[in-house]
Structure 1
Amino acid sequence: MNYILFDDVVWNDLRPLTFTRPVCEIRVGILTIREKWEKYLTATCSYLTKDYLSHKYPLVLYDKNMLINASVLPSVELRNAISNLNEGEYLSKDGLVLAAYLNAEDLKLVNEKGILEKKEIVFGFDFIRVVKPYDIFKLNDQAIRTDFNLLTKGRKSQEISGSVNVLGKENVFLEEGAKVEFATLNATDGPIYIGKDAIIMEGSLVRGPLAMCEHAQLKMGAKVYGATTLGPYCKCGGELNNVVLFGYSSKAHDGFLGNAVLGEWCNIGADTNNSNLKNNYSEVKLWSYSSKHFENTGLQFCGTIMGDHSKCGINTMLNTGTVIGVSANIFGAGFPRNFIPSFAMGGNHGFKEYRLKACFEVVSLVMQRRGLECNDTERDILAHVFEMTEEYRKSF
Structure 2
Amino acid sequence: MNIIFFDDSQRDHLLPLTFTRPTAKLRCGILTLEEKWLKRLDESNTYSYLTEDYLSTKFPLREEGEDLFINPAVCPDADLVEAVLALEENESLMQGDILIATRTREALMEEAEQDTEVLDYEGSFNYISRPYHLFSNNAAELEKDFALITAGRQSAPISKTNTLIGERIFLEEGAKVEAAVLNSTSGPIYLGKDSEIMEGSVIRGGLALCEHATLKLATKIYGATTVGPHSKVGGEVNNSVIIGYSNKGHDGFLGNSVLGEWCNIGADSNNSNLKNNYEEVKIWDYVAGRFAPTGLQFCGLIMGDHSKCGINTMFNTGTVVGVSANIYGGGFPRNFIPSYSWGGSGGFMEYRFDKAMKTAALVMERRSIELDSVERDILQVVFDKTATSRG
1:168-206 CA distances to partner (integer Å, 9 max, x unpaired)? 1x2000000000001110111110000100000000000
TM-score of the pair, normalised by structure 1? 0.97
**Cα deviation code 1:282-331 (max 9, x no counterpart):** 11110000100101111110000000000000000000000000000000
Deviation string, structure 1 residues 225-271 (Cα, Å, up to 9, x no partner): 12000000110000000010000000000000100000000000000
Residue 113 of structure 1: how far off its partner (Å)? 6.0
- Equivalent AA in structure 1 for residue 245 of structure 2: Y
Task: Indicate the larger mover: 186-195 or 90-99.
Answer: 90-99
2:269 to 267, 272, 291: 272
> Any idea what SS the aligned residue of 1:85 has?
coil
Alpha-carbon separation, structure 2, partners of 1:134 and 1:211: 18
Give the superposition deviation at 1:120: 1.1
Q: Where does residue 37 of structure 1 map in the other structure?
A: 37
Pair 1:46-2:48 in alignment:
yes
Write the distance in 1 (CA, Å) between the matches of 2:91 and 2:280.
41
**Alpha-carbon distance, 1:118 to partner:** 1.8
Counterpart CA distance in 2 for 1:283 and 1:96 is: 26
Aligned residue in 2 for 1:81 = 83
Separation in structure 2 between the aligned mates of residue 188 and residue 69 of structure 1, nearest angstrom: 33
Q: How does 1:244-263 map to 2 (within 5 A)?
A: 244-263=241-260
Contact 1:267–1:312, Cα closer than 8 Å, also in 2: yes
Whether 2:83 is the aligned partner of 1:58: answer no
2:361 corresponds, among 361, 364, 389, to: 364
Question: Partner amino acid for 1:243?
Answer: S
Q: Which residue of structure 2 aligns with residue 141 of structure 1?
A: 139
Question: 1:45 deviation in Å?
Answer: 2.3
1:115-134 matches, within 5 Å, as 115-134=113-132
For the Cα contact (< 8 Å) 1:38–1:44, is it kept in 2?
no
Residue 114 of structure 1 and its aligned partner are, at CA, apart by 5.8
Whether 2:180 is the aligned partner of 1:183: answer yes
Alignment partners' CA distance in 2, 1:115 and 1:285: 33
Instruction: Determine which of 71, 95, 108 is the counterpart of 2:73.
Output: 71
Query: 3-state DSSP class of the match of 2:256?
Result: strand
Structure-to-structure mapping, 1:94-243, within 5 angstroms: 94-103=96-105, 106-108=106-108, 110=109, 112=110, 115-168=113-166, 170-243=167-240
Counterpart of 2:337 in structure 1 is: 340
CA RMSD of aligned residues (A): 0.9
CA distance in 1, matches of 2:254, 2:202: 15
Give the partner amino acid of 1:102.
Answer: T
Query: CA offsets per residue over residues 57-110 of structure 1, 9 Å max, x none?
Result: 11111011010112111111111111111111111111321111111xx221x1
Q: Provide structure 1 residue ranges, at least 5 long, that are not aligned to the other structure.
A: none
- Structure-2 separation of matches of 1:101 and 1:114: 8
One-letter identity of the residue aligned with 2:125: F
Q: Measure the CA separation in 1 of the matches of 2:363 and 2:124.
A: 42
Q: What pairs with 1:321-340 in structure 2 (closer than 5 Å)?
A: 321-340=318-337
Q: Give SS of 2:185's match.
A: coil
Misfit runs of 4+, over 4 Å: none
Where does 1:372-387 land on structure 2 (aligned, <5 Å)? 372-387=369-384
Query: Contact 1:253/1:269 (CA < 8 Å) preserved in 2?
Result: yes
> What amino acid does structure 1 have at the position aligned with 2:18?
T
Identity level (%): 55
